[in-house]
Amino acid sequence: MSRRSIETLVGLFVLLGMAALLFLALKAANLASFGEHKGYTVSARFDNIGGLKPRAPVRSAGVTVGRVKSISLDAKTYQGVVRMEIDSHIKFPKDTSAKILTAGLLGDQYVGLEPGADEQELAPRDVIRQTQSAVVLENLIGQLIFNKAAEAGSTAPADATPKK
């Protein structure tokens, strides 16, 4: 093989490696949607969305069934409105509930759907009525500290008046 053909093969190998790295980076960041994913859009309102982000997974029974399309704030109710795109081949009952959950203790947040028992199915642009907001770790720690401080204050002896 000539020197020129070896350099060409090395160059192609480097380009192929860079393309593979780009593919992996896009997949790891949930930014790449390879293939045509047609679905229907539903929305849900939450009092607190925590750290939920667009493109976060929507899961049911641990299986990804869609993605968060957008997040906005309703100016009248001051609630977070989460629009989700659900795969078209999966139909959920109208009384499905939505929760914002965390993958692991400190993992990313996602929307969990729990199907109900209604005969009718969610249609495009329907609103999921039963929702549960995100559990914010900072709020839980604050409540724990407040409760412990209140317990410590209430367990002080009643006759703890200073003596002269």
Q: Is residue 29 part of a domain?
A: no
Q: Is residue 9 part of a domain?
A: no
What is the C-alpha separation between 75 and 43, in angstroms, rounded?
16
Model confidence, pTM: 0.67
Q: Is residue 71 part of a domain?
A: yes
Supply 124's token pair.
């495009």
- Better-scored residue on pLDDT, 152 or 58: 58
pLDDT of residue 68: 94
Q: Long-range contact list for 134-137, CB < 8 A, 24+ apart?
A: 134/46, 134/48, 134/49, 134/50, 134/51, 134/52, 134/100, 134/101, 134/102, 134/109, 135/50, 135/102, 136/48, 136/50, 137/106
List the one residue out of 131, 134, 136 whose CA is nearest residue 45.
131
Q: Is residue 122 part of a domain?
A: yes
Q: Is residue 11 part of a domain?
A: no
Backbone angles phi, psi at 84, to 5 degrees: -125, 140
Q: Is residue 17 part of a domain?
A: no
- Work out whether strand 97-102 and strand 109-114 pair parallel, antiparallel, or are unpaired: antiparallel
Supply 89's token pair.
């081949």
Q: How many domains does the chain have?
A: 1
pLDDT of residue 126: 93
- The arithmetic mean of pLDDT across residues 70-94, rounded, is 94
What does the pLDDT look like over 79-89, one tens digit per residue? 999 999 999 89
What does the pLDDT look like over 97-146, one tens digit per residue? 999 998 877 778 899 999 999 899 999 999 999 998 887 777 778 888 98
Q: Is residue 162 part of a domain?
A: no
Q: Is residue 62 part of a domain?
A: yes
**Residue numbers of the domain that contains 100:** 40-145
* CA trace torsion 156, 157, 161, 162 (10° rounding): -80
